Amino acid sequence: MAALEWNRLRQYRNSNTKTKLVASANLATRFGTFRIHAFADAGGSEHVAVVRGDVKGGERVPVRLHSECLTGDVLGSLKCDCGEQLEKALSFISAQEKGVFVYLRQEGRGIGLANKIKAYELQEKGYDTVEANEALGFPPDARDYSIAGKILEALGVRSVILLTNNPDKLAGMRMSGIKIEGRIPLLVKPNKYNGKYLRAKKRKLGHLL
């Protein structure tokens, strides 16, 4: 099943579920000071929105939708571009009057941490990132962006400029009723470990790299 078709199915299934705000606090980081909001979705997963400034009623708000990547975000893996994208996005948003960084608990493009490591095993045998997911019985991208749409709605954001290279995120936000005013590329220089990964994202997933 194509990534966009899978996202449509996931969003249809979640169209009547609730994503609720459970806690908020100030957050000082090396990128700047933010307000962090914790949300819980109907399936029990927890997500956060890291917010700069007052975004309620905001239009053309810079927004990054970032899916959890333990290996890249925390461990500094060079197999992907996730950690560098996270840092670039937070640095960019911290320099703006307002913005939102949504961190979605959808590890491995939605297949989970253990399955992502299984996909790594297959990649060591010659599979690319898309082929590995499919060999494990998953679509290339199993993420559900309707959750992010509900988070932005709860924050009162009216329209966004997405920091992304992924056209599926643009489509997913529109399907969730979020008005897209533009896109800001979030490009990372390839290294000797992630070249094949980035080429697969560009050729097979349509990422604008």
Which are the catalytic amino acids?
A: 141, 143
- Tell me the chain's radius of gyration from C-alpha atoms: 16
Question: Is residue 34 within 8 Å of 51, Cβ to Cβ?
Answer: yes
User: What does the alpha-carbon distance between residue 101 and residue 121 come to, in Å, rounded to a whole number?
Assistant: 31
Question: Would you give the distance in Å from CA 89 to the centre of its chain?
Answer: 11
Helix or strand run (H / E) with residue 119: helix 113-124
Question: Is residue 143 within 8 Å of 100, Cβ to Cβ?
Answer: no
Question: Is residue 23 within 8 Å of 44, Cβ to Cβ?
Answer: no
Residue type, 15: S
